[in-house]
Amino acid sequence: MTHCLWFDGKAQEAAAFYQSVFSDFSPISENPFAVNYRMGGRRFMHLNGGPGHPITPAISFYIMAESNEEAETIWSQLIIDGKVLMPLNEYPWSKKYGWCADKFGVNWQIIVDYKSSCKVMPSLMFCGNNAGKAEEAITYYRSLFTNSGLVEMRKYEKGGHDIEGYIMYAQFELNNLPFGISKILLSKAFITKVFMSDSSNSIGLNLISISGKSCVSCFLLNSQI
């Protein structure tokens, strides 16, 4: 399973940047249209797909840092010419956590003391017309892939900060690789600015890709590119 990010002519530049940030970056192949590499226990592909599909926070990538120092080192590089969505700080769910978009628009959630089978984990955001459909999506995705399962799921209870039964956080595996779904409580102004800027902010899945229409971040099976 390969995680594919869509770029407008900057696939190679972005790959070179991530190689400078992440110590376990391992190149696989490169051509004018695509760059393939491994990082954090996963395989990635950068595709020079052209304009019209800018990356959004609909899909972000958790980085499981082993220490505050590692989190701060990665964070300090990713935010260069990027955007801080949640400052690297202490929160109720982590002693060190931050959310940023790098200069290419790719979103990263850096966290310390979080358990996952891979150092890098994609996280899906369900909002707009797909709000409340996360559990249905997890069930559907798991039906498509072997070696899949539910690791953890927490829901909002009656009287909580969101609609009863909505997923607060979940982690599941597809082909033995972890994926997350989370909902961080943010201000209405923040959500409107960051997540609701495009009316097509939905996440869907077919046999070869998971794409948030404006996000266009894909997961390809057995890529031969």
* Domain range enclosing 215: 2-220
Crossing angle of helices 68-78 and 11-21, rounded to 10°: 150
**Residue 211, pLDDT score:** 33
Tell me whether residue 225 is in a domain.
no
Determine which helix (DSSP H) or strand (DSSP E) holds 183, and give its type and residue range: none
**Residue 183, pLDDT score:** 65
Tell me whether residue 151 is in a domain.
yes
- What SS3 class is residue 141? helix
What is the CATH classification number for the domain harbouring 85?
Answer: 3.10.180.10
Number of domain units in the chain: 1
Q: Report DSSP letters for 67-93, one per residue.
A: SHHHHHHHHHHHTTTSEEEEEEEEETT
**Residue 205, pLDDT score:** 33
Of 130, 138, 107, nearest to 217 (Cα)? 107
Q: Give the whole-angstrom CA distance, residue 143 versus residue 61.
A: 23
Tell me whether residue 71 is in a domain.
yes
pLDDT tens profile 82-114:
999 999 999 988 999 999 999 999 999 999 988
Contact call for residues 152 and 162 (beta carbons, < 8 A)? no
